Amino acid sequence: MEDILQEWEDFAKTMNSTVHGMNSRELRDHAEAMLRVIAKDLETAQNKQASIDKSQGLAPEVNADTAAEIHAADRLASGFTIEQLMAEYRALRASVLRLWKERIETISSCEIEDMVRFNEAIDQALTESIARYSAMFRESQNLFLAILGHDVRSPLGAISMGAQVLLRDDTLSAKSLKVASRILNSTGRVTEIVSDLLDFATSHLGDGIPVSPAAMNFAKVCDAVIEEARAFHPDRMIELASTGDMHAVWDSARISQAFSNLLANAIQHGSQTDPISIAVSGEKEDIVWTIRNTGEVITAANRRTIFDPAKRFALRPASERSLGHPQNLGLGLYITRDIVSAHGGHISITSTKEEGTTFTVRLPRKMHDKSA
């Protein structure tokens, strides 16, 4: 144990500049506990199926935090990167196997089985550490975004109020009033972006986007959103066909947001000359709505990540991932999916050259009680 721990400590000292102020106990952080868990596992009988389950990440769940999970949290707090965390396990594996090899003269089937099981246990500990590290890192990022979005709202409100005051000033020239109008419109757009950012961040911090369902008429939502879109895009044709009962128990504001996001997406990416077709059907238990536009076909690979802006951004070519690139991050589709999911519904997409691109949303008229 001491030989392994000393090599672990020596390696940790080479990993990060922040370790220079760490003592031996901090550098060896939970290594002994992890090794004792592995040793105990090696002493426990294991059948073939249990070995297969471990290799597939299906090891029995542990209620309390494991030593590997706690180790990941401490390394994150100490400034270690996830690559450095993984390197520690790689070095630990190499140390144990080398020291083990030096202490045996011949290798029997028992030693081979022990080596296989040791590697399984190291992989399990590594998986636990990476999962905990990644989860904590994502949570800190989302919390940062939520705080940033919240703090930005106050100065935005002040800018908007100032622009409104200027617009009511009859002494200003026409040029000044035009500038004030642009400021107000731009502030409104930034406010929408901040709201999307807050929704994106808070949906990761809790159980998704919160909704407050109440009795509503979806037909009124459709009419209002479509009329607004027509006002902003008078050159675009938007066709609506609806049948059946449109009454439901949903969060009206959130559903309006989802419907508006899908329509805005169709306007942005659809053909400038062909109409956008919207169909709403009130069925017995559900209400189904589709929004279809013609235009460039979305590939199967892009459809798989279309509701995940982080993955979509990561998969873009390097030339399209610069801050100056005109494409947006696609938060609207992510938020739409979360709104639909929060209502117990489902959203899907199809895209072909013949039929165009169609988003289909199916929502139960009344949200199911998740606590039941």
d(CA 103, CA 89): 21
Amino acid at 291: I
3-state class (DSSP) for residue 99 = helix
Instruction: Give 220's Cβ-side CA count (13 Å radius).
Output: 7
Bin 285: left if φ > 0, else alpha if -120 < ψ < 50, else beta.
alpha
Q: What tens digit of pLDDT does each residue of 346-370 get?
A: 999 999 999 999 999 999 998 765 5
Return phi, psi of residue 346, to 5°. Answer: -140, 140
Q: How far apart (Å, rounded) are the C-alpha atoms in residues 26 and 115?
A: 28
Residues with Cβ within 8 Å of 334's Cβ and at least 6 positions away in sequence, in order, are 200, 307, 308, 309
User: What does each C-alpha distance from 54 to 109, 123, 125, 134, 356 come to in angstroms?
Assistant: 20, 9, 11, 21, 44
Which tens digit of pLDDT belongs to each residue from 236-268?
999 999 999 999 999 999 999 999 999 999 999
pLDDT of residue 314: 61
Residue type, 47: N
Averaged confidence pLDDT in the chain? 85
Tens digit of each residue's pLDDT, the chain (372 residues): 899 989 888 888 887 655 556 777 777 778 888 888 888 888 888 888 887 777 676 777 777 888 899 989 888 887 888 898 899 899 999 999 999 888 887 888 888 888 888 998 898 889 989 999 898 887 777 777 777 777 787 788 888 899 999 999 989 899 999 999 999 888 887 887 788 777 777 776 666 788 899 999 999 999 999 999 998 899 999 999 999 999 999 999 999 999 999 999 999 999 999 999 999 999 999 999 999 999 999 988 888 888 887 776 666 666 655 555 445 556 889 889 999 999 999 999 999 999 999 999 999 998 765 544
A 10 A CB-CB count for 174 gives: 7
Q: How far apart are CA 372 and CA 369, in angstroms?
A: 6
Looking at residue 16, its pLDDT comes to 62
Phi and psi at 116, nearest 5°, equal -65, -45
CA 115, CA 130: separation in Å to the nearest integer?
Answer: 22
DSSP 8-state code for residue 365? S
Helices (H) and strands (E) in the chain, counts: 13, 7
